[in-house]
Amino acid sequence: MQNFSYQQLFDFTKNILLKIGCSELHAQQGAEVLLSADMRGVDSHGVARLSGYVRLWEKGRINSNPNIRITHETPSTAVVDGDGGLGLVVAPYAMNVAIEKASKAGTGWVSVKNSNHYGIAGYHAMMALEHDMIGISLTNASPLVSPTFSKERLLGTNPISVAIPAKEEPPFVADMATTTAANGKLEILQRKGNPAPMGWVQDKEGKPTTSSNGVKDGGALLPLGGDREHGSHKGYALGSIVDIFSAVLSGANYGPWVPPFVAFLEPDPNPVGEGIGHFFGAMRVDAFRPADEFKSHMDNWIKRFRSAETTPGNDRVLIPGDPERELEAIRAKEGIPLLDPVVKDLTSLGEKFGIRML
Amino acid sequence: MQNFSYQQLFDFTKNILLKIGCSELHAQQGAEVLLSADMRGVDSHGVARLSGYVRLWEKGRINSNPNIRITHETPSTAVVDGDGGLGLVVAPYAMNVAIEKASKAGTGWVSVKNSNHYGIAGYHAMMALEHDMIGISLTNASPLVSPTFSKERLLGTNPISVAIPAKEEPPFVADMATTTAANGKLEILQRKGNPAPMGWVQDKEGKPTTSSNGVKDGGALLPLGGDREHGSHKGYALGSIVDIFSAVLSGANYGPWVPPFVAFLEPDPNPVGEGIGHFFGAMRVDAFRPADEFKSHMDNWIKRFRSAETTPGNDRVLIPGDPERELEAIRAKEGIPLLDPVVKDLTSLGEKFGIRML
């Protein structure tokens, strides 16, 4: 484990993105999105993924100089074609379209096709906050998840993020996979050789398992709920809604057709759409009630929940976004810890492009 | 157990609603919403609740002749004041506003204050389908649910419904409480004296319990996920989002301030808003891509998921909405079965107003 400053990793990431042909603006934007994951503790979606993006570019599956554009629109909606670009730059473009629509029509809703992995969902949703808007960010992803009763993997971890501004209190920021546990958490158990709790994974026969290698061995992640008795049909429905809003609305690939993030797996030769899909929403708070009034009530909501009496052994009730914000403050001071294999991977990536990691 | 035809129960319900002062139109609408729950198998939200609504009216907490109106709007949004009316009539009014907004601006989003229990969430979301729109319906409800790590009940079962049209296939209709299990399911176990699975309920000390009386005895329902390890913080976040969209955006009561449905519990003497809140969305499919193209891809999505290879012991993968639609077909033929206590309750309600149950 080694600690790096935000600036070190930001510069490194930006320089790599410039090397693969991104514009100055896109390299800057891409690095910012990627680093926001490391800062907020979603390590699986940060710089650890940089070499994965580069491998996709090497295979011609990411266009580093895309012509991102609106292909269809109404006063409150748009479809954005990402032109095969990095999701890290396509997503902020599309979220800005949603914000602009909202500033005129009250709300803006953008479905995106022909994109790639967009980093953490929360970054894009949070773009709305400074405009006194509620931000929503959804994306589909490579199929790793089996619907309730299905042996096959048909959905991605399809996250939902919703960011809601408050006044004195920090904002409410939910950012969650629609599975019981995110794949990143499973990988940590795998690395340590620890078992996974029941309800996270099923094996390749479709039977529940505690093996943290279950997904690697041909099994699947389970939808939030874990099994039918505990509401997995609800997690499955949520993941499906994310898939449909992101891809069936826009014309991207959906369900099992979503192209894999890893470069060694080939996309389906008979796609049902273009690239992967995202969905963004922005709602102007004052399209409903005065922003100041709303934000005061959000403060009241947050204070009441945060001060709730706790269950035995727990000392406080968290508000969605609390853990990530607290980690961000720590990492701003102490730097971002990277695991040795990640440092090694980035170092060799740097060598390839003549960029020093340190 | 006794079976009744749709028409019998519809007429009875409508006549009761007329007796408490509803207009012809409102009585018709209210009966339709209530009966749709019985037809779709959500028995806890159907005619079994009729006497509960009447008791609230007797207490002056439901206004049977409301002046439902838009109090604020933009091209794609509105706030509706339900004037204390039956949620069963306020909700369809607000959903129609969303649909009308969507027909002009692409999408429509309506937050509602000063309402009451609105029946099943799915009815309102499904109103969008015949317009080739996606429908969304959320509501907050009396606090019965404890956030992760909270001993206190701060949220309702706060359901999410999303209805999406297809072409040849029946529509995708998700309609779910954001808890592990709906309260209705717990009540069935209670009635039979059976325990509840772990992850559904905590006791009044905030400890997990299998007692199906746990909520009645001062405990709480648990958010989808059940415990932290299985993602209850996600169910808690979803329930919170529903609460905030429904009530903080509109100016209704939120969190622990939501007035109880049962008439024997008094609402908080210091409310933070008016009545309970709902939130509705309508998105015109062709605000994104041609409706016919979208619906063909929805057929493809549905067929692929429905034909997925199954896990051991299960013979098919369900699409959200399948079980309810199948039950509806059965009940259209065989009638609606009501439990004896429900029949007795409705009979005595009928006697009070001079309306025969049969």
Considering only alpha carbons, which residue of chain A is nearest residue B162? A241
Q: Is residue A211 in a domain?
A: yes
Backbone angles phi, psi at A357, to 5 degrees: -70, -30
Residues of chain B found within 8 Å of residue A105, distances taken between Cβ atoms: 74-76, 105-106
**Separate counts of helices (H) and strands (E) for chain A:** 10, 12
Domain membership flag for residue B48: no
The pLDDT confidence band at residue B184, using thresholds 50, 70 and 90, is: confident
Question: Which of B147, B225, B234 has the CB atom closest to A305's CB atom?
Answer: B147
Report pLDDT for A122: 98
- Across the interface, whether the CB atoms of B288 and A250 are under 8 A apart is answered yes
**pLDDT at residue B81 in the model:** 98
10-residue averages of pLDDT along chain A (358 residues): 95 98 98 98 94 97 98 98 98 98 98 98 98 98 98 98 98 98 89 94 97 94 97 98 98 98 93 98 98 98 98 97 98 96 96 90
Residue B190: CATH number of its domain = 3.30.60.50
Q: Retrieve residue A352's tokens.
A: 């390839």
For CA atoms B288, B289, B290, B292, give the dihedral sign.
negative
Render the burial of A172-209: b for 16+ CB within 10 Å, e for the rest: bbbbbbbbbbbbbbbbebbeeeeebebbbbbbeebebb
pLDDT digits (tens, 9 = 90+) for B282-338: 999 999 999 999 999 999 999 999 999 999 999 999 999 999 999 999 999 999 999
B348 φ, ψ to 5°? -75, -30
Per DSSP (E only), the strands in B166-297 are 172-176, 201-202, 208-209, 220-221, 276-284
Rounded percentage of chain A residues whose pLDDT exceeds 90:
96
- Establish if A205 belongs to a structural domain: yes
Q: Which two tokens stand for residue A146?
A: 């089996």
* B214 inside 8 A of chain A by CB: no
pLDDT value, residue B358: 67
Task: Chain B: give the shortest CA distance to residue A292, in Å.
Answer: 11
Contacts of B288 in chain A (CB under 8 A): 72, 77, 79, 111, 249-250
pLDDT tens, A28-65?
Answer: 999 999 999 999 999 999 999 999 999 999 999 999 99
Q: Does any domain span residue A190?
A: yes
Q: Which range marks the domain in which residue B217 is found? A: 181-221
| Residues 74-93 (B) with a CB less than 8 A from some CB of A | 74-77, 79
For residue B154, list chain A residues with Cβ-Cβ distance below 8 A: 304-305, 308
pLDDT of A358 reads 67
CA atoms within 13 A on the CB side of B186: 28
Q: Is residue A315 part of a domain?
A: no
Given B109, B300, B308, which is nearest A147 (Cβ)?
B308
Candidates B100, B129, B138, B150, partner chain A, best to mutate (most A CBs within 10 A): B150
Give the per-residue pLDDT at B188: 87
List chain A residues with CB under 8 Å of B278: none
B300: in domain: no
Q: A75: which chain B residues are within 8 Å (Cβ-Cβ)?
A: 75-76, 104-106
Domain contains A187: yes
Q: Are B230 and A229 in contact (CB < 8 Å)?
A: no
Question: How does pLDDT run across A319-334, given as a tens digit for each residue?
Answer: 999 999 999 999 999 9
Please tell me the total count of domains within chain A: 1
Could you tell me the pLDDT band of residue B272, with boundaries at 50, 70 and 90?
very high
In a domain, B304, yes or no: no
Taking the whole predicted model, whether its pTM rises above 0.95 is answered as yes
Closest residue of chain A to B306, computed from CA coordinates: A150
- Interchain contact, A289 vs B231, CB within 8 Å: no
**Per-residue pLDDT reduced to its tens digit, B51-91:** 999 999 999 999 999 999 999 999 999 999 999 999 999 99
pLDDT at B246 over 80: yes
Q: Which residue of A has its CA nearest to B314?
A: A149
Does B270 contact chain A (CB < 8 Å)?
Answer: no
Residue in chain B lying closest to A243 (CA): B301
